[in-house]
Structure 1
Amino acid sequence: MVRAGLTVERVVQAAAELADEVGLDNVTLSALARRFGVKDASLYSHVRSLADLRTRLCVLAAREMTDRIGAAVAGRAGRDALLAFADAYRGYALEHPGRYAAGQLQVDPAVAAESVGHRRSIDLTYGMLRAYGLREPDLTDAGRLLRSTFHGYADLETRTGFSHPRRLDDSWHRSLEALHFLLENWPTTASDDTEDEADREGDS
């Protein structure tokens, strides 16, 4: 086992791999130290605490996930973008369950503001929804609906929460078609003079 050359990046990457293998709740500094063949104290030069490690895992997961989603939706709009976004989201959650769980953690707002992945998640979601002609407050409402749907499905699937014999992929794609229909027929509540976030930034 590697005993030297530890860096913050190596420690966090090893923690991410461990989380996928044994679950986020089972990632401890002691378990991580054993993975490197060092004493627990050796890790404190790189991460301050377990809470610090979990925050770094959250930031890592957000970046990895949005990189995947961004690549999937590039050049797409409307239904094609929605399906690509959703499949990339679900794919990451199923392939990296520990990292995905870390990505759902609440972090300090200051950390989220500096996290490329957290900022890009908002940009990708709102960009996709604007193609459906939505503006605030409908952008936020629709974004919350999509996150609830994607997260709920992925979380139940990783926990084997679906027991009906119907193929999960079939239900997933039918759900996405229903979301597309809903977004195209969204019951808007924004008034004609309501400006979305991008408009307000452009005027500032």
Structure 2
Amino acid sequence: MTDAKPMRADARRNYERLLAEARRAFAEHGVDASLEDVARSAGVGIGTLYRHFPTREDLIETLLRDRFDTQAEKARELLLAEDPLDGLYTWLIGLGETSAVYRGLTEILADAFDDPESRLHASCEAMKDAASHLVDRAQAAGVFRADVTVRELLLLLHGASWAGSHLPGEGGTERLMALVFTGLQTSEQRGQRVVGAPR
């Protein structure tokens, strides 16, 4: 595979302006924000936007790429955490924050999870792989239910992220994830403490 041809200076400026305006628009209006408005705010035509980002998912994936890379690296670090349950929970909270960064994103990610044609599918698979190592470690330690699959766990996370975004104030997603996570622990572990609650 050959490296992509470097962009001209003006094309690079357009690219960066489009990303900045898309980030602002998605933060204000969610992932369904008008791409025509994004292009107009960036000072370019819609054709220029589509040359850089052929689909809405291409644009979303580009905006989230650094976050997903960070999550993958964090998973590798947390495999060394002393407590495998804390490690898994900490990682899931970080992923939940990424999933909820834009309104409507959780639904897109949930759909992309099972759609190999989606531009976001590769990132979803990378998160599934990262989670599987943390889940395996927690299950081997006997603190996480053996009958819970990674797919179920990530879909529960997306559900908590979606629901948390509809609660007033901050911290809704983390509170809901803590409640869900309690039910995913083994019964013996639940009798000792609740992950996400003060020790």
Q: Could you tell me the TM-score, scaled by structure 1's length? A: 0.62
Q: Please name the residue that 2:185 is paired with.
A: 180
Q: CA deviation at 1:180?
A: 2.3
Which fold has the larger relative contact order, with Cα–Cα distance below 8 Å and residues 6 or more apart in sequence?
A: 1
**Which residue of the other structure, out of 118, 131, 145, is the alignment partner of 1:125?**
131
Name the residue aligned to 2:49. 43
Compared CA separation, residues 30 and 183, structure 1 to 2 (3 A): farther
Partner of residue 99, structure 2: 93
Offset from partner CA, 1:161-191 (integer Å, 9 cap, x none)? x8xxxx8755542432331226979xxxxxx
Q: 2:71 aligns with which of 47, 50, 68?
A: 68
Aligned length: 169
Residue of 14, 24, 30 corresponding to 1:6 = 14
In structure 2, do the counterparts of structure 1 residues 86 and 153 end up closer, same or farther at CA, with 3 Å as the change threshold? same
The CA RMSD over aligned residues, in Å, is 3.8
Whole-Å Cα distance in 2 between the matches of residues 17 and 39 of structure 1? 18
Whole-Å separation in 1 of the counterparts to 2:173 and 2:65? 25
Q: In structure 1, what residue type is equivalent to 2:158?
A: H
- Structure 2 unpaired stretches of 5+: 1-9, 191-199
The Cα of 1:79 is off from its aligned counterpart by 0.7
Q: Determine if contact 2:164/2:174 at 8 Å carries over to the other structure.
A: no
| CA drift at 1:100 | 4.8
Please report how far the alpha carbon of residue 6 of structure 1 lies from its aligned counterpart in structure 2 after TM superposition.
1.2
The 1:36/1:155 distance shift into structure 2, 3 A limit, reads same
Q: Distance in 1 between matches of 2:66 and 2:146?
A: 22
Superposed counterparts of 1:1-204, under 5 Å: 5-7=13-15, 11-12=18-19, 14-26=21-33, 28-48=34-54, 52-58=55-61, 60-61=63-64, 64-65=67-68, 67-68=70-71, 70-71=73-74, 74=77, 75-76=80-81, 78-97=84-103, 100=106, 102-106=108-112, 109=116, 115=122, 117-131=123-137, 132-133=139-140, 141-160=148-167, 170=175, 172-181=177-186
Offset of residue 128 of structure 1: 1.1
Cα deviation for residue 25 of structure 1 reads 1.5
Percent of aligned pairs sharing the same letter: 17
CA change 1:169–1:24 in 2 (3 A) is closer
Unaligned runs of 5+ in 1: 186-204
Aligned in 2, Cα 1:177/1:114: closer, same or farther, shift over 3 Å?
closer
